[in-house]
A and B are shown apart, each in its own frame.
Chain A
Amino acid sequence: MAEVLQSIANSMDPYMLQIFVNIGIAIILALGLNLITGVTGQLDLGHAAYMSVGAFTAAIITIRFNLPFSVNLLIAGTLAALVGLAIGFPILRLTGDYFAIATLGFAEILKVIFLNLDITNKALGLSVPPPNTSIPMPFYVWMVTILVIVGVTFIQNSRFGRALKAIREDEIAAETMGINSTRYKNQAFAIGCFLAGIGGGLYAHFIAYINPSDFAFMKSIDILNMVVLGGLGSIPGAILGAGVLTIAPEFLRFMSEYRMLVYGALLVFLMVFRPNGLLGGVDFRKMVFRIFGKREKKVLR
């Protein structure tokens, strides 16, 4: 099995494969943040910090213990979730802008901690050896990505997911309906951080060298961009946003110096013409059923 996958991976263009993997990792991160910011409505400006927790945990586990990669990722995700909970517990009582500023602050604190810890090699960062798995990285990343997409879809359409949406729409109304908003917000935050940790672990092993400065404020903004561009709260939107924003810089490469200028203009135009994001407010199920519904009627006539 592993050999077959390896030979498939070898036959593909490595450059394309590299971008695919980047997209996969971006999707995992964007879906995690989408749950916190899109579904629950808590603006998180420090998502890269939880990613860094996962990245460093996974890297250190591979370097020191070389555990199987799946176990390693689970530990990385769990630790990121725990850190998220420890931070979220006090600050999720804040709302709106205050919460956003608090996440920003804690993200900076985490970065400074990593810059000073010996185990993370301070500012020098860590070179990460290949992960302990026989499955080639591109397939591994995409397997995890699909699992995450499926998992997040189920979460969002469950009672839990609807409770989160209720909190987003009106927290006080949700409370009066018997939703323990603090508990739900904490749980959503922990799940989002868990996904960030997994994404970080994959990132660390794929890029093979990590450094605390990689997970600075701009990285958080990049992830937030994907979620907002795709449409807050929309899973297909987050996936599309992650895909578009990862491909765009590579696709625009032919413009050389003007590349990032065009990239920025693209973002502005999208926000002007689709203020709710690419797929914001688009209900795919309704769309699909409407199309199918119409067809059925035609057949009946």
Chain B
Amino acid sequence: MNFKKFGVLTVAILLVVSLMAGCGGGSQDTGKATTGETEGTETVKIGFLGALTGDVAMYGQPTLEGMKMAVEEVNAAGGIDGKQLEIVEDDNRGDKQEGAAITQKLISRDKVVAIVGDPTTGITKVAAPICNRSQVVQISAGSTGSGVVELGEYIFRDTLLDSVAIPALIDYFTGDLGYKKVAVITSQNNDYSVGMTEVFKTAIEGKDIEIVADEKVNDGDKDFSGQITNIKAKNPDVIFYSGYYTEGALIMKEARKQGLDVNMFGGDGLYSPTLIELGGDAVEGSMVFLGFSPEQPTPETAAFIENFKLKYNDKTPGLFEAQGYDAVKILAEAMNRAGSTDPKVFRDEVAKTKEFKGVSGTITFQENREPIKSPVYLLEVKDGKYTLKQKVPVTVN
């Protein structure tokens, strides 16, 4: 009996050891191959962290396309100190464990000096401790949730933050538009939405506007009749929906069906042609806030849109393309200013980025590395198109 147990144990331990040994061997092989490449070509490597397949590939793919365009431009202009920029791309499927593994791979195998990504807050938070520990600059092109840049002094992001945009917007809503009562809808299984609603609730404290209805929905829901009925009874001036465009369009359809004639506003989660395709007439008058406007673009944005269409078969770039592009440009500029490609050196220059004329907005990093993008562009759906309603300046506190 004891003998048998011993047998099973030995096999189990042998298996574990052989597994470890097998992987170890493989690692050395690939490791060598990568080093060989680095020695052969003098490049500065930037890692792309994001999903190219799976549910969140719709954020990863465009970010990478924007990054590629930025790298081409930087290289055409002479690169960094004569060295060419290179993107190392790896797919994480939107999976946290894979995201962590890839971050390690990019840093320890590919020896990247900076990582752009992830477009989602969750994986950014998984990657941030690793980047910070390894002293590699990380710029997240997309994460808007709270508690990201707090994870370390090497962590940045170039997105328009809700905590920056919403207070500015509320002043505009209460002042110019005279809104007094707002109905809030949150998608409670969506961290982006829950985070934005929290920011909104903090921002309206002490302002001349009150929440009359606080409804919860879920991503993937199709029927919003209950929530809209409740909201209609409270007679609000405006609906604030912090989630994504699919549910946003359906909410407005239901509202119009029930004869609720107020408009909806929300963040960049509502900015997609799909909102208009799905919503049709119901989303006329709906408002979204962004860091840039495709309607009245700055010269930089206009050039970006034109070049992007040339490169990618007439495809119109969106927010993620622009943010990925800006992230690479911020890094390249910081490296050139610092005259170094050592992340420990050019990190300080990234932190000093001020009034950077990006294509996704004008970016300034604050002391705490959080970006300020001013002005905020409030777009309105008019005749089935996003049109610029108002440029709202941001006051930095």
Contacts and interface: CB of A to CB of B under 8 A. Distances in A.
A243 B191 CA distance: 31
A123 interface: yes
A109 interface: no
A98 interface: no
B12 A236 contact: yes
B108 A15 contact: yes
Given A247-B23, A250-B101, A122 B7 contact: no
A285 B12 contact: no
Interface centre among B8, B91, B191 (most CB of A within 10 A): B8
Interface bracket on A: 35 or more
A179 interface: no
B129 interface: yes
Interface string B132-147: 0010000000000111
B151 interface: yes
A115 interface: yes
B189 interface: yes
Given A124-B191, A208-B129, A15 B15 contact: no
Given A13-B31, A22-B97, A123-B194, A235 B12 contact: yes
B23 A16 contact: yes
B16 A149 contact: yes
Interface string B9-34: 11111011001100110110001000
A206 B101 CA distance: 11
B122 A115 contact: no
Interface centre among A22, A123, A157, A207 (most CB of B within 10 A): A123
A19 interface: yes
A127 interface: yes
Interface string A260-291: 10000000000000000000000011001100
A243 B193 contact: no
A247 B19 CA distance: 10
Interface bracket on B: 35 or more
B4 A115 contact: no
Contact of B101 (A19, A212, A214): A19
Contacts of B11: 236, 284, 288
Interface in B46-97: 52-54, 90-91, 93, 96-97
B157 interface: no
Contacts of B109: 13, 15
Nearest to A244: B19
Given A125-B122, A257-B52, A22 B101 contact: yes
B8 A13 contact: no
Interface string A218-248: 0000000000000000011001100100010
B387 interface: no
Q: Interface on chain B toward A: helix, strand, loop, or mixed SS?
A: helix
A208 B101 CA distance: 13
Contacts of B193: 123
A288 to B, nearest CB: 5
Contacts of B26: 251
Contacts of A115: 188-189
A236 B16 CA distance: 9
B8 A153 contact: yes
Contacts of B53: 257, 259-260
A301 to B, nearest CB: 24
Contact of A213 (B126, B145, B189): B189
Contacts of A211: 122, 191
A178 B189 CA distance: 47
B15 A123 contact: no
A122 B190 CA distance: 9
A289 B7 CA distance: 9
B147 A157 contact: no
A2 interface: no
Interface in B151-188: 151, 188
A209 interface: yes
Contact of B122 (A17, A209, A240, A288): A209
A249 to B, nearest CB: 6
B91 A123 contact: no
Contact of A153 (B12, B23, B31, B122): B12
Given A15-B104, A123-B190, A208 B126 contact: yes
Nearest to B97: A22
Nearest to A237: B15
A207 B191 CA distance: 18
B311 interface: no
Contact of A236 (B15, B90, B129, B188): B15
B98 interface: yes
Contact of A284 (B8, B20, B54, B97): B8
Interface of B: 4-5, 7-13, 15-16, 19-20, 23-24, 26-27, 31, 52-54, 90-91, 93, 96-98, 100-101, 104-105, 107-109, 122, 125-126, 129, 134, 145-147, 151, 188-191, 193-195
12 contacts: A19-B23, A20-B23, A22-B97, A115-B188, A124-B194, A127-B147, A150-B12, A208-B125, A211-B122, A240-B19, A243-B19, A289-B7
Given A124-B146, A157-B8, A214-B122, 14 more contacts: A16-B23, A18-B101, A123-B194, A125-B191, A154-B5, A207-B126, A209-B122, A209-B125, A239-B19, A251-B26, A259-B53, A259-B91, A260-B93, A284-B8
The 8 A-B pairs with the shortest beta carbon distances in the complex, nearest first, are A209-B125, A123-B191, A123-B194, A15-B105, A15-B104, A16-B27, A18-B104, A14-B108
Interface of A: 13-20, 22-23, 112, 115-116, 122-125, 127, 145-146, 149-150, 153-154, 157, 206-209, 211-214, 235-236, 239-240, 243, 247, 249-251, 253, 256-257, 259-260, 284-285, 288-289
